[in-house]
Amino acid sequence: MTDSLKNCRRTHYSKQVTSDIKDEEVVLMGWIHEMRDLGGIIFVLLRDRDGVTQITAPSKKISTELFEDLRKLKKESVIAVRGKVQESGKAPGGVEVIPEELKLLSESKLPLPLDTTEKTRAEIDTRLDSRFIDLRKHSVSAIFKIKSRMLHSVRNFLESQDYTEINTPKIGASATEGGTELFPITYFEREAFLGQSPQLYKQMMMASGFDSVYEIAPIFRAEEHDTLRHLNEVTSIDVETAFTDHIDAMNLLERLVVDAVTQVKKYCQDELDTIGFDLQIPKTPFPRIEYDEMVDMVNSVGVHMEHGEDMPRAAEKAMGEIMDGYYFITGWPTSIKPFYVMPDPENPLKSCAFDLMFQDLEISSGAMRVHDHDLLVEKIKKQGLNPDSFNRYLAAFEYGMPPHAGWGLGAERFTMTLTGLKNIRETVLFPRDRRRLTP
RNA sequence: GCCCUGGUGGUGUAGGGGCUAUCAUGCAGGCCUGUCGAGCCUGCGACUCGGGUUCAAAUCCCGGCCAGGGCGCCA
């Protein structure tokens, strides 16, 4: 039998239990992190959102009934404790709580699927199977507090620049955009697909007079990739701005990244300490390396790469060795970029596309877009696609489409750069990869 | 999808044709009034699945599933 909450409410979080409130009565609520029963004295470590407080129960100072109730507690059960804050040099952090009342709110089954005290580490697969318990570890929840702060910063920054947040459909009819594999779904009597990118919708919004838009939403890619930096469902931070070019887009992206890093460092220092990551605020401007220059750099360290081909993984790694932190690669060949990318007016074999890299990881890619209807149709045809299936998209270019540019930034890959994590799965609560569809 | 490596108690591991299957953590019980990776004693708990080879398979072989690493794919 467990107790009910009734009108009992938490007064403090563990973090707030310091010597500043000694002798005060507090009500703490949380999970039992560890129990140490020494016979005549029991130590209960109560863990809540971002801290752990020691509940100290000496048999001679509390009632026999309460003492016996405390002795029966099990790891990871949920409790509420009313007690008095006491200073003690012998307690962790110099303070402890002497209990006066205990409520057992929810009992935990034992043994646990993994060790929340991290004495024995668990593999990522085991952790993801029991993600709700894995997230009880402060070293894991810290990642998501950092990700949350990053997303807040991005929204604040874009709102401060007068961007409008939009929502575009994630279900669509098109299977003909080319490129990545799509997930087919059943849409009543028809086949439909999950959205791979809000790209075409963002561009249609450029013809709407909104000028500056952004969307933070999931995108789905049905590629059978199986790496530490790919997932089949990720969050894309997508931005599009009218009356601007790719240089403006890069400048905006650079400012947004620096702002987010600065905010994370300012508001998440505890979390960064918890995961043991020394986050550095990058210097601006980020280095901008021409594609051709990048190919030469890669070749000069003995990694073969042809001019005109997309970066093989070995080339990314080579660049990661040479470069430190964030940098842009610009002037990509038109032939390896999608149809909506604007060719360089000086040299149409090159494009106004850029990638933002962090060492060996591509975290964003963007471009100035084609806004001329006829050129766009021509480019769609050149990529072996049928312009007819882009009717609704192409119509937006026929009645006054301003020049525009934008980018998509991978929220999880960006989080990897903010936490130093090497496995993208660590940055998603419930990741979806080639094999994992639950929980 | 390809290549390499692996799958042993709840968790993390050692071992590698015949043994009572190693260790840590955990769990259960006991002792202990200052623990903080508490300590001590007793106990519990495992060879990924299917097929094959063999007198005998956790161990060798084949396949499935899953995982780790690498690559490819990623308009």
Based on the residue annotation, tell me whether A82 is a catalytic residue of this protein. Answer: no
Return the CA Rg of chain A: 27
A22 is near strand B: CB distance < 7 Å: no
Nearest residue to B12, CA vs C1'?
A: A120
Q: Active site residue: A127, A136, A413, A425, which one?
A: A413
Q: Which nucleotide is nearest to A196 (CA to C1')?
A: B75
Distances in Å between the Cα of A120 and the Cα atoms of A140, A141, A273 are 15, 18, 21
Based on the residue annotation, tell me whether A229 is a catalytic residue of this protein. Answer: yes
The nucleotides of chain B lying under 7 Å from a protein CB are 1-2, 10-13, 24-28, 31-38, 65-75
A204 is near strand B: CB distance < 7 Å: no
**For position A176, what pLDDT does the model report?**
53
Based on the residue annotation, tell me whether A365 is a catalytic residue of this protein. Answer: yes
**For position A386, what pLDDT does the model report?**
86
Based on the residue annotation, tell me whether A436 is a catalytic residue of this protein. Answer: no
How confident is the model over A7-36, as pLDDT tens digits?
899 999 999 999 999 999 999 999 999 999
Which of chain A's residues 393-432 bind strand B, using a 7 Å CB cutoff? Answer: 422-423, 425
Mean pLDDT per 10-residue segment, chain A (439 residues): 88 95 95 94 95 94 93 95 94 94 93 90 90 94 96 97 96 71 88 90 95 95 86 95 97 97 96 93 95 93 89 91 93 93 94 95 95 95 87 94 96 94 92 86
Whether the ipTM is more than 0.85: the answer is yes
**For position A428, what pLDDT does the model report?**
93
Q: Which nucleotide is nearest to A422 (CA to C1')?
A: B69
A382 is near strand B: CB distance < 7 Å: no
Give the SS3 label for residue A233.
strand
A224 is near strand B: CB distance < 7 Å: yes
Q: Active site residue: A77, A153, A236, A365, which one?
A: A365
Q: Which long-range contacts (CB under 8 A, 24 or more apart) does A218-226 make?
A: A218/A170, A219/A195, A220/A170, A220/A182, A220/A183, A220/A194, A220/A195, A220/A196, A221/A180, A221/A181, A221/A182, A221/A196, A222/A180, A222/A181, A222/A182, A222/A183, A223/A180, A223/A181, A224/A181, A224/A434, A225/A434, A226/A433, A226/A434
Q: Which nucleotide is nearest to A86 (CA to C1')?
A: B34
